Amino acid sequence: MALAALVSGCGAGQRHARPAASGPRSPATHARAPRPAPPPRALAIGLTEANPDLLWAPQARAHVPAGLQLWRERLLALRPDYVRIHVDWSQVQPRADTPPRWDAPQSGCQRGEPPCVPYRGIAEELAAIASEQRVQSGFVPVVDLSGVPAWAARGPSGCEPPGIQPRSRAIAPTAIPAYRALISSLLELGRRYGLALPYWSPWNEPNHPFFLSPQRARCSRAAPTVSPHIYAELVRAMASELAAAPGEHHLVLGELAGIPHSGGPHSTGIPEFVRALPRDVVCASNLWAVHDYARAGGAAGAPDSVRRLERALAERAACARHARIWITETGDGSPHLGHARSAVPRDRRAGCRALAGALVRWSRDSRVKAVFQYTFREDSAFPVGLADERLTALRPAYYLWSEWARAPSRKDPPGPPAQCA
């Protein structure tokens, strides 16, 4: 199958029924009940949350551990169209001589913070998502890969920031078959739970050194970027593997970090990255993703990664000029490692208003089809969540997303709720 054919008739961003899947179901699954028709929305909504105790449908698991019941109700009330699934390859397959372990035990903590309720890794996450799909529409998985195992990584090269680990380096050419085998194994896991995995991102933030290093051969901003060519290898490998698999699958290109125009010696700006991609990769999908965070502070804090991506695509092949765009990471606050957001209530409300303004702008852009909140439970390293790490309080932005979950039309988008005022 040609790369461009992978997204033929994809309907990205529209709330839709779960694509058909084959294969045996988990013994824990139940007969599928009729699902209610989805409410109309101004924008499709996506969400990142890995803990299955916050995702299980009550019909499949009536009781979750103490302290999580209310938070599950609050997450499910948002009725996300999509759930983004992060796959850290270095965690699920740390050894080359063993297959991926999708049920590797997880602590359930949030970077060490309680509540800590263990679960069976991505396997249980998929089972929980499948349980939701049997009772309501939405909850369509979007798989996002990152994290190179040490055995699959290339050695140090080019201009790398201090402290770079193998997980951030490019995949060695000899490990590309293992990358394809990882994809095949996860597809099989989805079939085991009766869950289609229709959307796939070859790599997270390939223009950022934490996920792909080096970005440049020399430590100069003027040095040509090398990361797009490394990323192209992954796009082609994933496209080939998905084309050979049963079912309908779509590539989500980019997943680009919101890096300024020129980037730096350790990063690549969005326009430069898109310009450097081979044409066949640019045309591999009509669906692109970018990360764009809202910050309080007026026009200076207004997100513009979407605009950069649109302009960059317009300069490329005709196949890209009308590509659909997902914002697969957003939120109010600081998305940067170690930059805590303010605990002052006034500042938090201002951040919520900044996100509200961004959502309105995106809703007026006909190419933007879906927006994903990162994350539900606060990730202390990237603090933009809707609930705090210990699950004791909601952030003002939760109430904003609740309004958008009910917004029926792009022509009349909701304003900031009272909690943001």
pLDDT for 139: 97
**Strand partners of residue 45:** 371
Give the pTM.
0.89
pLDDT for 157: 96
Residue with token string 């299980």: 56
pLDDT for 37: 54
pLDDT for 290: 97
Per-residue pLDDT of the chain (421 residues), as tens digits, is 334 333 333 333 333 333 333 333 333 433 344 455 555 677 999 999 999 999 999 999 999 998 899 999 999 999 999 999 999 999 999 999 999 999 999 999 988 889 999 999 999 999 999 999 999 999 999 999 999 999 999 999 999 999 999 999 999 999 999 999 999 999 999 999 999 999 999 999 999 999 999 999 999 999 999 999 999 999 999 999 999 999 999 999 999 999 877 789 999 999 999 999 999 999 999 999 999 988 765 444 455 899 999 999 999 989 999 999 999 999 987 656 557 777 788 888 999 999 999 999 999 999 999 999 999 999 888 889 999 999 999 999 999 999 999 888 888 899 899 999 8
pLDDT for 328: 97
pLDDT for 297: 55
pLDDT for 343: 78
